[in-house]
Amino acid sequence: MQMSPTLISQPVFLNQGEVEQKRQEIKAYFNQTWENYESLFETLVSDDTFYLRPCSLRHPLIFYFGHTATFFTNKLVLAKLLPQRINPTIESMCAIGVDEMSWDDLNDAHYDWPSVAAVRAYRNEVKAAVNALIDQVVFSLPIDWQSPMWPIMMGIEHERIHLETSSVLIRQLPIDQVKPHPLFPICADQQTAAPSNRLLAVPAGEVKIAHQDPAPHYGWDNEYGQHQANVTAFQASEFLVSNAEFLAFVEAGGYHTPEFWNEEGDRWRQFSPVKHPSFWVRKTEGGQQAWYLRCMTEEIPMPWSWPAEVNHLEAAAFCRWKAAQTGQPIRLPSEDEYLRLRDFSQAQQHLAQANINLQQAASSCPVTRCKQGEFYDVIGNVWQWTETPIHPFEGFKVHPLYDDFTTPTFDNKHNIIKGGSWISTGNEINGSSRYAFRRHFFQHAGFRYIASDAPVQKEFSTYETDSAVAQYCEFHFGDEYFGVANFAKAYADLAIGYAQTDADLAKREHLKVLEVGCSVGRASFELAKHFEQVVGLDFSARFINVANQLQTSGQLRYTLPIEGEIMDFKETTLAQLGLSEVASRCEFLQQDATNMKPIFSGYDMIVAMNLIDRLYEPKKFLTDVAARLNSGGLLMLGSPYTWLEEFTQKVHWLGGYKDAHSGENVTTLETLHALLSKDFEPVGAPQELQFVIRETARKYQHTVSQVTLWKKKA
């Protein structure tokens, strides 16, 4: 059986060609995508099937049938390319709920699904509107993120994703609800014997990505940015793990042996009713147990040479079993290791022979069929799980028309799959794409194992969404507003300037500085440019965690309110800040400024900015601070003196009141002099330092901190 040429698509180049020719090319690509998607639903036996749920936590297929059209109208209205919605009723039902939902979101009483005919009519309306739009839209080449053609490409590629994910849902329907379809023929080679797998060497090498807009093809936000890694040498399995190879794990009791599962996997293992790959079907035939495989529209005797399809948890358990069996460090590859294997095997030069793009079959095929370099199926057949949770590359930005395509999955719970499957098309196989699913999820996905002693990073910095912490992340590491210089850097520079011009400190070596109230740590990092040892303390573990995470990972990501609950996604790195070299001089610890441990002593300088008016007993901090400084040490204080009972009982305010005895106004500056004069000499006049804290894109706190410098008496 041959695949229909109508299903096979050609990648659309967005950075070359002529406008009118590109218009026709995109139009054809759109219509092919649209029609292929509709054809897929012809595998359902009746309209009633559209209303079955393939999975108890997913919408029925009617939702997905309407959804790809609704996505077009939503994005085109948002982009102001369509003046208004096309069918608000259907669109209100078919927009939200692509992924697993909670049971109460799916209460049928909430949904009065439209008829298949109605959705078909609606799809026709949207199709016509998009065709008209493609005919008329004014655009130029290259087509980049700002191009009006971008949201059209976005809609097309979105539908291509759903072509694949709907095929998985159809595969999860009862077998009597689906029927074979001439456009989607199963691979005929079902009885080839499975090979015995072996590990082949992949030499060390560099992996490098620098993906920028405009790019040759359409891409999702997570593909853009910079990435570089030096991958150590490892061995990779020649073939994807076949059903036969996986059977050994099943028969060895792998699903019943908790030791092969990590904690998350073991929870899933206990929850899961079946103790074998999800698409495997066990039948009793003439008193004999036999394994069958559920394909998209058919159930066939187990094709042992085809790739085993499992979720990440099952694949990882197999690897632990295999490692135990062999004594080798068997595991799944990381994203980088997969990319290194792909480069080394030159798999991308063999795309035309790979089982992808619906060009070979509408199913898997034997793992021995598609050779790419020394390996098989580096690209195609089924997706391959990696150990790497999806995370943004440096320079990541959301596209304003789709800010939640990837960001909700930056949670260390969605692992990257690579290589594509037989039904992966378009962006899915263009070489740049990065898709990720929850580790318990099923796709047309299997795995290849590797042997390597190299550690794998399984935790990436996530977006700090605690609004108070995120606000301070932007305050310390983000943009400047109203022309006011970054405050933390400014006061660190001021402190360094003081230390450099103090005749006494200028002579000392191995200077130690303590920052009390360091918040998320920017100034402490900056102080490390001059001081050999920097200790940053903050009362809030949430803030200290950010500083520690930035120090450890070199990266920081946080969300920032634009308007109401609409968020921007921001990131920074120590490298961008020019702090990579000195960050290791810092240590960040949680500590109460009014009750610090004696160990925090022996500093040449102590910096406490915007601290005293947030302490519950500021006097205690100030009377205690001299003992923590070396003789002749410097104390730098800064505060806007914003006394609030919320933080400091009035009886503990240092200023901003009339004295109960004298009746005179007491300012904080006066009290500072009164409290510190025993141990310190004031140095110079107070300085004024502005700072701006962003609350939303339009609302800011703009404050003036008063900075005073004090030299400890000898």
Site string for a second copy, 459-498 (x = CB under 8 A): -----------------------x----------------
Going by C-alpha positions, the residue among 563, 578, 592 that lies closest to residue 526 is: 578
678 belongs to the binding site for a second copy (CB under 8 A): no
663 belongs to the binding site for a second copy (CB under 8 A): yes
- The continuous run of DSSP H or E covering 336 comes out as helix 335-345
Name 389's bridge partners: 415
Long-range CB contacts for residues 543-549, cutoff 8 Å, separation at least 24: 543/469, 543/472, 543/518, 543/519, 544/518, 544/588, 544/589, 544/590, 546/464, 546/469, 546/472, 546/473, 546/520, 546/521, 547/518, 547/519, 547/520, 547/521, 547/586, 547/588, 548/588, 549/461
Listed in sequence order, the residues at least 6 apart from 288 whose beta carbon sits closer than 8 Å to its beta carbon are: none
Q: Distances from the Cα of 629 to the Cαs of 488, 505, 622, 708, in angstroms? A: 22, 12, 12, 16
In whole angstroms, give the CA distance from residue 91 to residue 83.
Answer: 15
Write out the binding residues for a second copy, residues 190-229 only, by CB under 8 A. Answer: none
564 belongs to the binding site for a second copy (CB under 8 A): yes
706 belongs to the binding site for a second copy (CB under 8 A): yes
Site for a second copy (CB under 8 A): which residue of 374, 403, 466, 493? Answer: 403
87 belongs to the binding site for a second copy (CB under 8 A): no
655 belongs to the binding site for a second copy (CB under 8 A): yes
Site for a second copy (CB under 8 A): which residue of 50, 86, 87, 91? Answer: 91
Name 197's bridge partners: none
100 belongs to the binding site for a second copy (CB under 8 A): no
668 belongs to the binding site for a second copy (CB under 8 A): yes
φ and ψ of 147, to 5 deg:
-65, 145
Give the three-class secondary structure for 237: strand
Q: What is the DSSP letter of 187?
A: P
Name 557's bridge partners: 463, 571
Shortest Cβ 657–a second copy spacing (Å): 5
Site for a second copy (CB under 8 A): which residue of 658, 681, 684, 713? Answer: 658
101 belongs to the binding site for a second copy (CB under 8 A): no
Shortest Cβ 275–a second copy spacing (Å): 37
**Is the CB of 274 or the CB of 485 nearer to a second copy?**
485
**Is the CB of 441 or the CB of 657 nearer to a second copy?**
657
Listed in sequence order, the residues at least 6 apart from 357 whose beta carbon sits closer than 8 Å to its beta carbon are: 8, 9, 351, 424, 425, 429
78 belongs to the binding site for a second copy (CB under 8 A): yes
**Is the CB of 88 or the CB of 602 nearer to a second copy?**
88
Site string for a second copy, 507-546 (x = CB under 8 A): ----------------------------------------
Size of the site for a second copy (CB under 8 A): 46
640 belongs to the binding site for a second copy (CB under 8 A): yes
Site for a second copy (CB under 8 A): which residue of 705, 709, 711, 712? Answer: 705
- The continuous run of DSSP H or E covering 561 comes out as strand 555-563
**Is the CB of 91 or the CB of 309 nearer to a second copy?**
91
675 belongs to the binding site for a second copy (CB under 8 A): no
**Is the CB of 55 or the CB of 78 nearer to a second copy?**
78
Shortest Cβ 463–a second copy spacing (Å): 16
Count of CA atoms in the C-beta half-sphere (13 A) of 24? 4
Shortest Cβ 659–a second copy spacing (Å): 8
Site for a second copy (CB under 8 A): which residue of 20, 664, 685, 714? Answer: 664
**How long is the chain?**
714
Q: Which residue has the tokens 């995470």?
A: 549
Residues found near a second copy in the complex (CB under 8 A)? 70, 74-75, 77-78, 91-92, 95-96, 403-404, 482, 562-566, 640-643, 653, 655-658, 660-665, 667-668, 692, 695-696, 698-706
